[in-house]
Amino acid sequence: MRVVLQRVKRASVSVGGNVVGEIGAGFLILLGVGQGDTEADADWLVARLQRVRIFEDDAGKMNLPIASVAGNALVVSQFTLFGTMKKGSRPSFNRAAAPAEAKALYDKFSQKLSAALGRIVANGVFGANMEVALVNDGPVTLVLDSKLPDF
């Protein structure tokens, strides 16, 4: 599983002009599920996201995890995170998991993250054409990959 993590002041996702998920300060998580990903990948990412310290402490240093700032999370499915440009100029997405498998892991990930944070996690609509709006805080943007833990 692959995540683009953005520290945001606020974020929302809309489908067909209707807001389906929105948060205040916290994490905007673009989540891609790749072929061969399992629930263990979701567990690893959730544990890592709980520990990542990208919120500022009183000294202005990125030193606090999301729980310390009562942050929220918005998870948006993003199969294009597994796109490759190996041949030509049109991306190939055959490294992404099949839609049914990806949706199941996307749902599991969101449930696990919600339980870990102790609050409801907002979501986009899996497979929909979504409009994502955000105010990036910093900006702070990181990439996490369960198959490349040192990335």
Is 80 an annotated catalytic residue?
A: yes
In the set 6, 27, 55, 78, the catalytic residue is 78
Is 84 an annotated catalytic residue?
A: no
The residues near 148 (Cβ < 8 Å, ≥ 6 apart) are none
Residue with tokens 């833990």: 149
In the set 55, 79, 82, 109, the catalytic residue is 79
In the set 50, 80, 84, 111, the catalytic residue is 80
| Number of neighbours of residue 10 by Cβ within 10 angstroms | 17
The residues near 104 (Cβ < 8 Å, ≥ 6 apart) are none
Give the type of residue at 75.
Answer: V
Is 78 an annotated catalytic residue?
A: yes
Q: Which residues are catalytic?
A: 78-80
